[in-house]
Structure 1
Amino acid sequence: MSVKDKPAAGPVSRILRPVRGRLIVAAVLAAIGTMLTMVPLAGIAHIAQFSMGQAEVATGWVQMQNQVWRVVSVSLVCLFLGMTLISVGEMVAHLADNHITGHLRLAITRRLAKVPLGWFTSRASGEVKQAMQDDIGTLHSLTAHFFTTLGRTMGAILIAILYLFAMDWRMAIVSLLPFPLFFLFFSRATKASGANMQSFGAGMARINNAVVEFVNGIPVVKAFGVEGKAHGSYRGAVDAFAEAFTDFTRPLVSAMANAHAMITPVAVLGVVLAFGTLLVSLGWITPVEVLPFALVAPGICAPLLLLSYITHDLNNATAAAQRVHTLLETPVLETLAGESQQLPENAEIRVEQLGYSYDGQNPVLKNIGFTLKPGTVTAIVGASGSGKSTLARLLLRFFDPTEGRITLGGVDIRQIESAQLYRRIGFVLQEVRLIHASLRDNIALGRPSASQQEIEDAARTANIHQRILALPRGYDSVIGEDVQLSGGELQRVSIARAVLLDPPVLVLDEATAAADAENEVKLQQALSRFAQGRTLMVIAHRLDTVMHADQIILIDNGTICEQGRHHELLARKGRYARLWALGGYEQAKEQAVSSC
């Protein structure tokens, strides 16, 4: 078989590749240790045989005592040695688990740091949380316990079978008759439930997403009194999971009950004694020769039951490993084929024949072209859904364009390494994300080494300095604990963070939408001052907030309708002029509603 013809490794194998050798060592140690711990069972059988087989004479009694002490000594040594090997195996497995858990979390973090930022907008936070936290937690039972448990069960079963056949092959076959029936019922149960494993995992993911969405939406639910509707999606997720869980477990119940009944110690002992009595009556064996089978054969039941339980854990771990592997295989931002990474010479941005489609069929942007010169403010205006935010996200490389290109300082942004790109392009979006830390740390997130004076200067530019000083702990106030900021205040903190980063390019996507009119004017003035020597692009709805921009671009249905300065666009008496006369998009919308 050629390399190309070899089947791809399973998800569990791919995930555990870094610690595969350690887990094999742990399983072997556990198997050997378990074999040694079963030696005392054979020792008991042999002591009984000595006791019943020796003549009751002085020399025979002394010989038997010597043999008994020899068997007891060997049994004790094997028992303690076996327990030591099992403990060492467990330690090796747990160390391997600690290594792979840290490795996976770091690998996922590094991977997510390289994926397009737009990937996060199309994923529910519960989905990522399940893979990074819950699924890696599920893998703990696989790495820390599955392989050592498998080693112990296989070691116990193997040594027991070898011992029984060494004693008498006929009784060995008879004693093992219940176990093939167990595997028959067990395989049927596993196959039946495995068909529903995918829907079971999907139901769990849906519950995770529903919980996150429900918790995030509690303020809206309370404000508008729509508890019934808000609970509906969560109830639906719970009901769907309950149905999937029922479908998953229903085939298991009867089949597993039958399987377990086959290998209860009482059932196995009954088979051994029944057939042992028959063979004794036929004169094929002596009564004392039945004793090893009565002691050892029922001992196989517990390892087999344990094997069935860990096999169920393996199914869960396989699904978890698949989700973790999928996250690790998330497409990352790649450099253009055949191109080396480059650094831009200046902060000039050129958008050339740009086109983009989310689904590959319906274009959101078509043939967009313009230039953002350093030290200028460019405003992108247009109705909701016209493609403004998509354009901003393409500039920030949340995703790559379907057609055309965007250059920064003469270099295609796809040739600029992500860390270098975001040092040169700062952004403030409509949805503000702050970390659970002090206001000082949130503002200095991009520049942890910034001084207190630099942090305060950035806050002054964003018109948030006085608000922070009014707090009891000032800049040491922790978001969510010491202070609850309004939407406009959160945006001003986000703007201060971007100002402190001091990028040559700044993109503002409705960054002042949550601020009141007075603060919005102050922010626009501050940002205009900050734009000196920098490239600033502002996405806005209100035309009066961008009238002083060096360039205004009106986008409609994914194309550029008009482009120029405020007075130039008014002089053309086109769509921009009509919208200005109506008071902008929001006012035009209100008038359209009132006229209906």
Structure 2
Amino acid sequence: MNTQTTPTGQGPISRILAPIRTRLLIAATLAGIGTIFTMIPLAGMAHIAQILATASDQAWELSASSKRDIAWVVTASIVSVFIGMGSMFLGELIAHLADNRLTHHLRQAVLSRLAQAPLGWFTGQTSGQVKQAMQDDIATLHSLTAHFYTAVGRALGALSISVIYLLAMDWRIAVITLLPLPGFFLFLHRLMQSSKANMGEFVIRLEHMNSAINEFISGIPDVKAFGTTGQAYRGYQDAVNSFADAFDRFTRPLVASMAHVHAMVTPVTILGLTLLCGTISVVNGWTTPVDLVPFILVAPGICAPLLLLHTLLHDLGSATGAAQRVMALLETPILQAPLSDQQPLPANNEIRFDNVSYAYDNGHRGLSNLDVTFAAGSVTAIVGPSGAGKSTLARLLLRFFDPTQGRITLGGVDLRQLSTATLYQYIGFVLQDVRLIHASIRDNIALGRPSASQQEIEDAARAANIHERILALPGGYDAVVDDATQLSGGEQQRVSIARAILLDPPLLVLDEATAAVDASSELVIQEALARLTRGRTLIVISHRLDTIRYADQILVLDDGMIVEQGNHDHLLTQHGLYARLWALSNATSTLESEVSTC
């Protein structure tokens, strides 16, 4: 079941359903055959009516042959109902098993694909978009695979056998009775075209609204804290209003067509035409009243399959959009894998950027022509104003994405020649934005080394100054990280430090590791980081220049380029950007001290 192939000329639904298409066609065929068998009793009723109408005795005493005919018809009708029910059951079973196989495969395939995606890809996606594709859209495809094809099979089976039967009974009355059908399909075609024209905008606005809702809910504490009701709600209100406008444009053209479609194939319309044509035929002696019974029994039943087809085709439009979004996830760009199984191992812990440039998808330049070496065992600090490219440099080193030009080597080996697992054995990181998974504290710490013993996990937690806090939690190391287990930002940061300590990488990247915590938490984290960084190659990104003044090398970035390089004392003598940032940092520290004494 290879979802990565993209055959030309195939729509998203065809590509999604390719692995189970044969099963779905079998299921639809069985459902259609089952429906045909369950409609045989209607023909049996009409036949019994004809037997009764032709009985010669006015006292309705039937002959033995008539009784045998009626018994045969009743028996055949009962048997056909059971055969039909069995066939439909088998069709539904096949469809649901195929759906289970497909949805399981899609979820696994999406998860596998996203696991190979560069971590930088996730920064450009909203949680609402990914959630919609992985949860809502796959649920929409479940309705398509589990119910759509069997429902279409039932509708086509009922429609085809009804038309054939009525034409066989009396083609003249059948033609008049079925006159609304061409009009029905004409308006249905217009309905589908109108729906398709505005479906794209409808789906886009829905995605934006889902994202706005997620962002709004996450920001409610700040909104309430600052008492804002205008600007804070505007993004959410704009997204909801835009969706409402798109929904109006999507549904308005459909209303008239839907009204015409439903009016043309209501049972009253079909039965009225049947009785009108039948009455004329009986009055003119072209047929007998009993010959109208098949039309009265069967013709109104055509309405339900037709209206079901209308509903199913409308749902097909939603399924097409869902399939497109799921396919987009399955085609997410992935990091280039090593070309061979024989991966070269780094000779040492030296990192080198060789003419490295990176540009984002929107064309914004992140880094330009970087040539720099991070010596093994050294401490390098990266500073610069906001937007200078500091975090981009760190994320390239961690291979959140690959450079658009040049190469990055670890111990002489291009990072693209190392598997992700191998790379993260050499490079650990503690970032500003901590993400703990929904699992136990133990599993969160042992994320990089699942085989670690309990003693090793506890030793790492002690080194990160988080062991006592974990023991205080209900369940201790077995406590699951969720809404019930409340960890502060500083405590979550220390769990991530324990994770890095347990992994014990020779090279460590710290990206504003204490930027989002209070002063007391920062002191505890700094002590944990001091233990973690001993004897390692260290790359530190920080806006607190007093914490990096003793670094062996300081890189000053501005607009994606290295504008200054050297140690603290050397850079101060240059009276350049670093000197200005240092003066600003001192002024800020002085101001903070004055404020704290108030």
Fold shared per TM-score above 0.5: yes
Shifted more, 32-41 versus 505-514: the winner is 505-514
What does residue 436 of structure 2 align with?
A: 434
Q: Is the Cα–Cα contact under 8 Å of residues 30 and 86 in structure 1 kept in the other structure?
A: yes
1-structure distance, mates of 2:43, 2:473: 76
Q: How does 1:566-577 map to 2 (within 5 A)?
A: 566-570=568-572, 574-577=576-579
Q: 1:269 to 1:520 in 2, by over 3 A?
A: closer
Shifted more, 473-482 versus 336-345: the winner is 336-345
Residue identity matched to 2:56: A
What does residue 159 of structure 2 align with?
A: 157
Shift of 1:374: 2.4
Shift of 1:46: 0.8
2-structure distance, mates of 1:589, 1:400: 41
What does residue 93 of structure 1 align with?
A: 95
Residue identity matched to 2:153: G
Q: Is the Cα–Cα contact under 8 Å of residues 508 and 539 in structure 1 kept in the other structure?
A: yes
Residue identity matched to 1:231: Y
What does residue 537 of structure 1 align with?
A: 539
1-structure distance, mates of 2:583, 2:205: 53
Residue identity matched to 2:429: F
What does residue 240 of structure 1 align with?
A: 242
What does residue 311 of structure 1 align with?
A: 313
2:74 corresponds to 1:78: no
What does residue 403 of structure 2 align with?
A: 401
2:103 corresponds to 1:106: no
SS of the aligned residue for 1:538 comes to: strand
What do residues 274-297 of structure 1 show as CA deviations (whole Å, max 9, x unaligned)?
A: 112222333333332222122111
What does residue 253 of structure 1 align with?
A: 255
Q: Which runs of 5+ in 1 are unaligned?
A: 591-596
Residue identity matched to 2:289: P
2:507 corresponds to 1:505: yes
Shifted more, 572-581 versus 146-155: the winner is 572-581
What do residues 203-233 of structure 1 show as CA deviations (whole Å, max 9, x unaligned)?
A: 2211210111012112221222224333222
What does residue 35 of structure 1 align with?
A: 36
Q: Is the Cα–Cα contact under 8 Å of residues 579 and 588 in structure 1 kept in the other structure?
A: no
Q: 1:399 to 1:74 in 2, by over 3 A?
A: same
What does residue 595 of structure 2 align with?
A: none
Q: Which runs of 5+ in 2 are unaligned?
A: 1-5, 593-598
1-structure distance, mates of 2:404, 2:450: 36
1-structure distance, mates of 2:523, 2:272: 90
Residue identity matched to 1:534: R
Shift of 1:359: 4.5
Shift of 1:522: 5.7
2-structure distance, mates of 1:443, 1:166: 75
TM-score for the superposition, normalised by structure 2: 0.92
2-structure distance, mates of 1:334, 1:448: 25
Alignment counterpart, residue 394 of structure 2, candidates 392, 395, 399: 392
Residue identity matched to 1:441: D
Shifted more, 578-587 versus 120-129: the winner is 578-587
What does residue 211 of structure 1 align with?
A: 213
Q: 1:574 to 1:525 in 2, by over 3 A?
A: farther
Q: How does 1:277-316 map to 2 (within 5 A)?
A: 277-316=279-318
Q: Is the Cα–Cα contact under 8 Å of residues 392 and 509 in structure 1 kept in the other structure?
A: yes
What do residues 494-531 of structure 1 show as CA deviations (whole Å, max 9, x unaligned)?
A: 11112212222221110122344565466446535433
TM-score for the superposition, normalised by structure 1: 0.92
SS of the aligned residue for 1:563 comes to: strand
Q: 1:519 to 1:568 in 2, by over 3 A?
A: farther
Q: Is the Cα–Cα contact under 8 Å of residues 280 and 286 in structure 1 kept in the other structure?
A: yes
1-structure distance, mates of 2:587, 2:78: 88
Q: Is the Cα–Cα contact under 8 Å of residues 350 and 375 in structure 2 kept in the other structure?
A: yes
* Count of aligned pairs between the two proteins: 587
Residue identity matched to 2:330: L
What does residue 561 of structure 2 align with?
A: 559
1-structure distance, mates of 2:7, 2:575: 68
CA RMSD of aligned residues (A): 2.6
Q: Is the Cα–Cα contact under 8 Å of residues 542 and 585 in structure 1 kept in the other structure?
A: no
Q: Is the Cα–Cα contact under 8 Å of residues 542 and 586 in structure 1 kept in the other structure?
A: no
Q: Is the Cα–Cα contact under 8 Å of residues 440 and 481 in structure 2 kept in the other structure?
A: yes
What does residue 455 of structure 1 align with?
A: 457
What do residues 216-261 of structure 1 show as CA deviations (whole Å, max 9, x unaligned)?
A: 1122212222243332222222222222222222222222122211
SS of the aligned residue for 2:63 comes to: helix
1-structure distance, mates of 2:321, 2:490: 43
What do residues 543-595 of structure 1 show as CA deviations (whole Å, max 9, x unaligned)?
A: 211122222222222221222333443455554345445545956999xxxxx
2:359 corresponds to 1:367: no
Shifted more, 514-523 versus 260-269: the winner is 514-523
1-structure distance, mates of 2:202, 2:294: 45
1-structure distance, mates of 2:264, 2:363: 59
Q: 1:342 to 1:308 in 2, by over 3 A?
A: farther
What does residue 117 of structure 1 align with?
A: 119
Shift of 1:71: 1.0
SS of the aligned residue for 1:307 comes to: helix
Shift of 1:388: 0.5
Q: How does 1:129-144 map to 2 (within 5 A)?
A: 129-144=131-146
Q: Percent identity?
A: 60
What do residues 272-327 of structure 1 show as CA deviations (whole Å, max 9, x unaligned)?
A: 12112222333333332222122111111111111111111111111111111111
Shift of 1:328: 0.8
SS of the aligned residue for 1:195 comes to: helix
What does residue 593 of structure 1 align with?
A: none
Q: Is the Cα–Cα contact under 8 Å of residues 365 and 387 in structure 1 kept in the other structure?
A: yes
Q: 1:341 to 1:151 in 2, by over 3 A?
A: farther
Q: Is the Cα–Cα contact under 8 Å of residues 542 and 584 in structure 1 kept in the other structure?
A: no
Q: Is the Cα–Cα contact under 8 Å of residues 490 and 525 in structure 2 kept in the other structure?
A: no
What does residue 381 of structure 1 align with?
A: 383
Q: 1:535 to 1:87 in 2, by over 3 A?
A: same
Shift of 1:533: 4.5
2-structure distance, mates of 1:340, 1:572: 47
What does residue 53 of structure 1 align with?
A: 54
Q: Is the Cα–Cα contact under 8 Å of residues 497 and 529 in structure 2 kept in the other structure?
A: no
Moved over 6 A (4+): 57-60, 336-340
What does residue 20 of structure 1 align with?
A: 21
Q: Is the Cα–Cα contact under 8 Å of residues 269 and 297 in structure 1 kept in the other structure?
A: yes
What does residue 490 of structure 1 align with?
A: 492
Shifted more, 264-273 versus 146-155: the winner is 264-273
Q: How does 1:456-475 map to 2 (within 5 A)?
A: 456-471=458-473, 473-475=475-477
What does residue 11 of structure 1 align with?
A: 12
2-structure distance, mates of 1:338, 1:458: 35
Q: Is the Cα–Cα contact under 8 Å of residues 195 and 317 in structure 2 kept in the other structure?
A: no
Q: Is the Cα–Cα contact under 8 Å of residues 11 and 325 in structure 1 kept in the other structure?
A: yes
Q: 1:588 to 1:10 in 2, by over 3 A?
A: farther
Residue identity matched to 2:18: R
Alignment counterpart, residue 551 of structure 2, candidates 549, 552, 555: 549
Shifted more, 480-489 versus 273-282: the winner is 480-489
What does residue 424 of structure 1 align with?
A: 426
SS of the aligned residue for 2:291 comes to: helix
Q: 1:101 to 1:553 in 2, by over 3 A?
A: same
Shift of 1:113: 0.4
Q: How does 1:217-232 map to 2 (within 5 A)?
A: 217-232=219-234
Shift of 1:156: 0.6
2-structure distance, mates of 1:371, 1:150: 65
